[in-house]
Amino acid sequence: MRKLTTLGLFSILLPFSAISGENVTYQVDGMDYEGYWSEASDQAPLVLLIHDWDGLTDYEKKRSEMLNELGYNVFAIDLFGKGIRPTEVKDKKQHTGELYKDREKMRALLNAGAMEAKRLGGNLDNNVMMGYCFGGAAVLEAARAGIPSKAYVTFHGGLSTPKGQDYSQTKAPVVVFHGTADAMISMHDFGSLAAQLESTKVPHEMITYSGAPHAFTVFGSNNYQHEADQKSWQRFTQLLSSVSR
């Protein structure tokens, strides 16, 4: 079992450092996507990381590096397409909105990303899926689809369940880190998800952090809250240690 190191916690406070992973181009239905692979060791457990509505940027790469330091291989899956890294809110809404409207495409992209991680040497039999904001919503989509994982973890992600979906195919724990002061994802959504998971007997852990707004883990942003980020990261790494072989 892996234990949280001082370096793992302290790195949260540091600016972005040199990234040692590699961008990887792969195709889904004839379109290029660009994920990010960073490796700790050949036999390390795998984390599948899903980006927020900015697309796969240095933020996800930094989180990947932090996980490498703790002994995990990471593949950050691209859900938008190679070179699509929106900076304007209207463009972010467009790309996320297209996938929210086409859940089958979202699931296909998640599956394709997992298969690409396997091709690169990732161990899909020993993986945890995690995501931020939009990526957190995508992780819950993977959970409802029954995409194999040892845990599904969302940080300040969308929590609502589309009409006609449920968690009857979810075979691993769902873990939610949420800001109680999140003005975008309501506590009503939080409570509704808890009730759904309980009714389908899905093991779950759901934590809220007082005063934490939406996107509380995003370094350097106006919404960043150090205490909530540190506590959620510590609990996440404890979870990884408990479910990874």
242: its two tokens? 């408990």
Amino acid at 181: A
Mean pLDDT of 192-210: 98
Q: Where are the domains of the chain?
A: 22-243
* pLDDT band at residue 223 under the 50/70/90 scheme: very high
The string over 63-98, giving b where at least 16 C-beta atoms fall within 10 Å of a residue's C-beta and e elsewhere, is: bbbbbbebbbbbbbbbbbebebbbeeeebbeebbee
What's the average model confidence in pLDDT over 58-85?
A: 97
Q: Which two tokens stand for residue 138?
A: 């995508």
pLDDT grade for 20, boundaries at 50, 70 and 90:
confident
Quick check: helix, strand or coil at residue 207?
strand
Examine the pLDDT at 76 and tell me if it is beyond 50. yes
Model confidence over 102-134: pLDDT tens digits? Answer: 999 999 999 999 999 999 999 999 999 999 999
Question: Does the pTM of the predicted model rise above 0.85?
Answer: yes
Q: What percent of the chain has pLDDT over 90?
A: 90
Could you count the other beta carbons within 10 Å of the beta carbon of residue 227?
12
Residue type, 128: V
Which pLDDT value is given to residue 16?
42
Query: Does pLDDT of 1 surpass 60?
Result: no
pLDDT of residue 244: 82
Report percent pLDDT > 70 for the chain. Answer: 92
> Which residues, 6 or more positions from 217, have their beta carbon under 8 angstroms from its beta carbon?
132, 155, 156, 224, 228, 229, 232, 233
Q: Give just the sign of the alpha carbon dihedral 35, 227, 221, 212.
A: positive
How confident is the model over 17-40, as a mean pLDDT? 90
* 22-243, CATH topology level: Rossmann fold (3.40.50)
Given this model, what pLDDT does residue 31 score? 98
Report the range of poorest mean pLDDT among 15-19, 33-37, 82-86, 193-197: 15-19
For the ranges 1-10, 178-187, 236-245, which has the lowest average pLDDT? 1-10
